[in-house]
Amino acid sequence: MAHHKSAIKRIRQTETRTERNRARRSRIRTYVKKVESAITAGDQAQANEALRVAQSELARGVVKGIVKKNTAARKVSRLNARVKALSA
């Protein structure tokens, strides 16, 4: 257990930040799953809308430091390709 005031504060900050980051990561996963479920259902309009929301959520994750920039770009690119394939 920490004995210094600053170390105790650090522990509190870490717990808060961990909770927040876990919630953000979960939120990103949820929106990505919504796109994937729309793709499997074959509903292109819904998939396009879900992709738009997921894309902004992934971008926010990059800004907040939850997801790396290239990881988000890769996920968006792959989802976009799958959504485009629905129209073909």
Tens of pLDDT, residue by residue over 16-67, are 999 999 999 999 999 999 999 999 999 999 999 999 999 999 999 999 999 9
pLDDT exceeds 90 at position 74: yes
pTM score of the predicted model: 0.87
pLDDT of residue 88: 74
The total number of structural domains in the chain stands at 1
| CATH (domain of 61) | 1.20.58.110
Q: Structural domain of residue 15, as residue ranges?
A: 5-87
Please tell me the distance from the alpha carbon of residue 74 to that of residue 76, in angstroms, as a whole number. 6
Triad 68, 71, 73: Cα angle to 5°: 110
Query: Is the CB of residue 25 less than 8 Å from the CB of residue 66?
Result: yes
Report, as an integer, the average pLDDT of 62-78: 97
Query: What's phi and psi for 57, nearest 5 deg?
Result: -70, -40
pLDDT recorded at residue 21: 97
Asked if the model's pLDDT at residue 87 lies above 90, the reply is no
Whole-number pLDDT of residue 2: 86
